[in-house]
Amino acid sequence: MTESALSQLREQLSGEVPEAVGRLGEAELRDLAHAIRDARHREGKALAAAGERALERVPRLLRGPIRKVVG
Amino acid sequence: MSRAAETLQAHTEVMKVARLLQRQPESLHYLESLGVEDLRELRDRLTETVFDAHTGSLRRLAAASRVLPVGLSASMGESVFGPLLSARLTGLLDPGRAAEMASRLPAPFLADVAVEMDPRRASDLIARIPADQIAQITAELMTRGEYVTMGRFVGHLSDEAISAALAAMDDRSLLGVVFVLEDKDGLPDLVSLLPDARVAGVIQAAADHDLWVEALDLLDHLTPQQRDDMVAATLLLEPDALDSIVAAVIAHELWEEVLPIAEHDATVQAALAARVPALPARQRRAIAKRARKTGGLERLGVFGEALAGA
């Protein structure tokens, strides 16, 4: 069971988990993996929303060039 | 590092991790079972993960900001993107342009951004912020007790900016900041930038706020001359303050760290000597070994005599 929590954390960190961290209990490893995932999701959503709001603040003339850059 | 200092440093590291993950530090208390070095390794990995999670979108936004007037970019940083996303963007912007944007933003917002930044990713930008603006941001961070944030920036500032920051900081904050520095090898250089009067001020702050774990940790990282100056300032404190040092040594096992002070004060020596028989033999031997290495047991008076039997 601990292995699956460790895998989750490994996936969130995109690589090996520091050795000492890997010795934490399953509940802790799972909590840490969830915390990383939640932080990334929260930030991704905030970024998308801010991008939309920013475009509304840009003068109309510049919206074309900005859209070209942002893609 | 004393065990007490290590415990406090581990707590500090957990605070940094919690900030990265936008969690309350208490919810990650289980991480405090890890050592300081392990926590730093974890934090480095988390920093990479969190900062690189949306690099593509952030790079495109940074590129788009070049199309806009600097003033508009700065204003949108504050009103649209906010401190967290602005912090993620800082390392991706052209440093000169980012410094110009910063010059148009208020210190409280820049302090918010500093809290969320990874200074290692924006070193070129930080170096371009004028010293007086660094002082304003420092003053803001100080009122919030953000010692951890201030400590993370120290290694990225010029001497001029550090001097300005130190001048903006009170003595209690200074002690808090130097304690959480990750690279303490630079402490002698940092302390050398302080006016002489500040050394006494820092010691007085330790006495006023019972911060002897922090003060003795600082003492442990200084040059012999700086240590002598700090010890001299300590010996000028009221007797009550010296009693509080002895109490801290006993409570937090700061026996090795207190040696530079103990060798100059007979009252401290007597108070410590009285506690030596209660120490485990192994600990007595470790303290005696350190004392012999740093000047000899005979310099410690009755405290040295008590240790000599170890």
**Measured distance CA(B16)–CA(B50) in Å, rounded:** 13
Give dist(CA B216, CA B35) in Å, integer.
21
Residue with tokens 């009693």: B243
Instruction: Select the residue of B23, B35, B80 nearest A54 (Cβ to Cβ).
Output: B80
Q: How close, in Å, is residue A2 to chain B by CA atoms? A: 16
pLDDT at A33 over 70: yes
- Nearest residue of chain A to residue B35 (CA atoms): A20
Residue B281: per-residue pLDDT:
87
CB contact under 8 A, B64 and A25: no
- Torsion from C-alpha of B161, B162, B164, B165, nearest 10 degrees: 120
Averaged confidence pLDDT in chain B? 91
H or E element: which one contains B70? helix B70-76
Q: pLDDT, tens digit, for every residue of A21-31?
A: 999 999 999 99
Percentage above 70 pLDDT, chain B: 100
Q: What is the CA radius of gyration of chain A?
A: 19
Summarize pLDDT for B37-69 with one digit per residue, the tens: 999 999 999 999 999 999 999 999 999 888 899
Smallest Cα distance from A45 to chain B, Å: 10
Contact call for residues B229 and B196 (beta carbons, < 8 A):
yes
Q: Which residues contact B66 (CB under 8 A, 6 or more apart)?
A: A69, B94, B97
Q: What is the mean pLDDT of chain A?
A: 87
Report the distance separating Cα B101 and Cα B81, nearest Å: 14
Please compute the mean of the pLDDT values over residues B219-228 and round it to a whole number: 89
pLDDT of B245 reads 87
The per-residue pLDDT for B285 is: 87
DSSP code per residue over A12-62: HHTSPPPHHHHTS-HHHHHHHHHHHHHHHHHHHHHHHHHHHHHHHHS-HHH
Q: Give chain A's contact residues with B (Cβ, < 8 Å).
A: 12-15, 18-21, 24-25, 28, 31-32, 35-36, 38-40, 42-44, 46-48, 50-51, 53-54, 57-58, 62, 65-66, 69-71
Amino acid B49: pLDDT: 93
Nearest Cα to Cα of residue A22 among B163, B220, B122, B34 = B34
For residue range B89-138, what is the model confidence (pLDDT) as tens digits? 999 999 999 999 999 999 999 999 999 999 999 999 999 999 999 999 99
Residue B5 · residue B217 · CB < 8 Å: yes
Chain B residues with CB-CB distance to A31 below 8 A: 27-28, 30
Number of neighbouring beta carbons within 10 Å of residue B215: 26
Of B98-107, B239-248, B300-309, the range with the highest mean pLDDT is: B98-107
- Six-digit token pair at B217? 């940790």
Residue B304: alpha-carbon gap to chain centroid: 32
pLDDT band at B310 (very low <50, low <70, confident <90, very high): low
Residue B257 confidence (pLDDT):
86
Complex ipTM value = 0.88
Q: How far is B11 from chain A (nearest CA, A)?
A: 16
Residue-wise pLDDT for B261-298, tens only, equals 888 888 888 888 888 888 888 888 888 888 888 778 88
8 Å CB contact of B21 and A39: yes
Please state, in angstroms and rounded to a whole number, the distance separating the CA atoms of residues B49 and A12: 8
- The rounded distance, in Å, linking the Cα atoms of B239 and B248 is 14
**Which residues of chain B does A51 touch, with a Cβ-Cβ cutoff of 8 Å?**
57, 61
- For range B171-197, the mean pLDDT: 91
